[in-house]
């Protein structure tokens, strides 16, 4: 069985040692302690998943995440933020930048293992039909590119997953819980506010299409053809 490759980016030696000890039996591990090293190792190592600390000595993990997600090579690479920074604002910032999960330090090693296993399983099950047409919205699955009435619109990784889920289930109400589990499986700290933020962004980005995302009170959201 081929092992997935995971890049750990953290300036704390003890944290990197703990993560490596936790994961090295199932995964191939590479480490970086700074933003410069992280970018270099990312391109050299080509990981299937990145664990990224927010508080680094030379720049923030947010900046590294933004840089990585702007590169075609890492647009679809799952990123887990690991940080002592607590609170929904920190998590929401991470998700907006394209991270798939956010764990607060100190973390439980077994939780990290389960989260990674779930994320990588989800990645392997992603629909591989390259281009999916939903009338005036076109999704390119491998590149996560979205075209709305012929115009290419930038979507974060999580936004792409949500619009894909909604379009595949057109006219069906999807609960916030279902949407949360789709973009961040096993993330029990995520909340409704995060989903509402994503939906607001999606509404702006597809406003020129004939699709509308409707709120269903007490239930969730559905997308319909207006």
What CATH number corresponds to the domain at position 70?
3.40.50.2300
Asked if residue 154 and residue 118 are part of one domain, the reply reads no
Given 107, 124, 141, the domain boundary residue is 124
Asked if residue 115 and residue 145 are part of one domain, the reply reads no
Q: Pairing mode, if any, of strands 137-140 and 145-148?
A: antiparallel
- Cα–Cα distance, 87 to 78 (Å, whole number): 21
- Contact, 113 vs 23, CB < 8 A? yes
**Crossing angle, helix 192-205 and helix 157-168, to 10 degrees?**
80
Asked if residue 137 and residue 105 are part of one domain, the reply reads no
Residue with tokens 């559905």: 222
Which is it for the CA torsion 197, 90, 186, 51, positive or negative?
positive
pLDDT at 189: 54
- Cα–Cα distance, 15 to 83 (Å, whole number): 11
Q: Which residues contact 116 (CB under 8 A, 6 or more apart)?
A: 6, 23, 27, 49, 80
Domain count, the chain: 2
Q: Which residues contact 35 (CB under 8 A, 6 or more apart)?
A: 9, 56, 58, 59, 63, 64
Domain range spanning residue 46?
5-124
Best CA proximity match to 85, nearest among 102, 71, 109, 73: 102
Asked if residue 118 and residue 28 are part of one domain, the reply reads yes
pLDDT at 11: 94
Given 124, 141, 175, the domain boundary residue is 124
Asked if residue 10 and residue 104 are part of one domain, the reply reads yes
Q: Which residues contact 57 (CB under 8 A, 6 or more apart)?
A: 11, 34
Asked if residue 154 and residue 112 are part of one domain, the reply reads no
pLDDT at 110: 92
* CATH number assigned to the domain comprising residue 221: 1.10.10.10
Long-range contacts of residues 125-131, Cβ cutoff 8 Å, at least 24 apart: 127/164
Please tell me the pTM assigned to this model. Answer: 0.60
Asked if residue 9 and residue 112 are part of one domain, the reply reads yes
Asked if residue 107 and residue 164 are part of one domain, the reply reads no
Given 101, 124, 147, the domain boundary residue is 124
- pLDDT per residue as tens, the chain (226 positions): 578 999 999 999 999 999 999 999 999 999 999 999 999 999 999 899 999 999 888 888 999 999 998 887 888 889 999 888 766 677 788 888 888 888 888 889 999 999 999 888 876 655 555 788 888 999 988 788 899 998 999 998 889 999 999 999 999 999 988 888 888 765 555 566 788 899 999 999 999 999 999 999 888 999 998 8
- DSSP one-letter code for 73: G
Asked if residue 35 and residue 90 are part of one domain, the reply reads yes
Residue with tokens 């590294």: 64
- Contact, 189 vs 99, CB < 8 A? no
Residue with tokens 């990674």: 116
Asked if residue 108 and residue 140 are part of one domain, the reply reads no
pLDDT at 62: 92
Asked if residue 147 and residue 61 are part of one domain, the reply reads no
- DSSP one-letter code for 56: -
Asked if residue 175 and residue 112 are part of one domain, the reply reads no
**Crossing angle, helix 192-205 and helix 88-96, to 10 degrees?**
30
């Amino acid at each position: 069985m081929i092992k997935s490759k995971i890049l750990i980016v953290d300036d704390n030696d003890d944290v990197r040692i703990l993560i490596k000890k936790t994961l090295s039996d199932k995964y191939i591990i590479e480490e970086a302690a700074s933003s410069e090293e992280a970018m270099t190792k990312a391109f050299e190592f080509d990981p299937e998943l990145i664990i990224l600390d927010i508080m680094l000595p030379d720049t923030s993990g947010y900046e590294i995440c933004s840089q990585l997600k702007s590169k075609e090579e890492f647009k679809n690479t799952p990123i887990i933020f690991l940080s002592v920074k607590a609170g929904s604002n920190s998590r929401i910032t991470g998700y907006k930048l394209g991270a798939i999960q956010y764990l607060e330090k100190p973390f439980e090693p077994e939780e990290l293992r389960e989260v990674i296993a779930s994320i990588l399983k989800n990645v392997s099950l992603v629909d591989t039909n390259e281009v999916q047409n939903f009338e005036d919205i076109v999704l390119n699955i491998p590149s996560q590119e979205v075209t709305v009435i012929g115009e290419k619109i930038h979507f974060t990784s999580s936004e792409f997953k949500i619009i894909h889920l909604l379009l595949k289930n057109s006219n069906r109400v999807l609960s916030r819980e279902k949407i949360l589990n789709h973009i961040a499986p096993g993330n029990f700290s995520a909340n409704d506010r995060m989903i509402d933020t994503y939906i607001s962004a999606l509404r702006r980005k597809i406003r020129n299409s004939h699709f509308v995302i409707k709120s269903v009170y007490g239930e969730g959201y559905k997308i319909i053809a207006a």
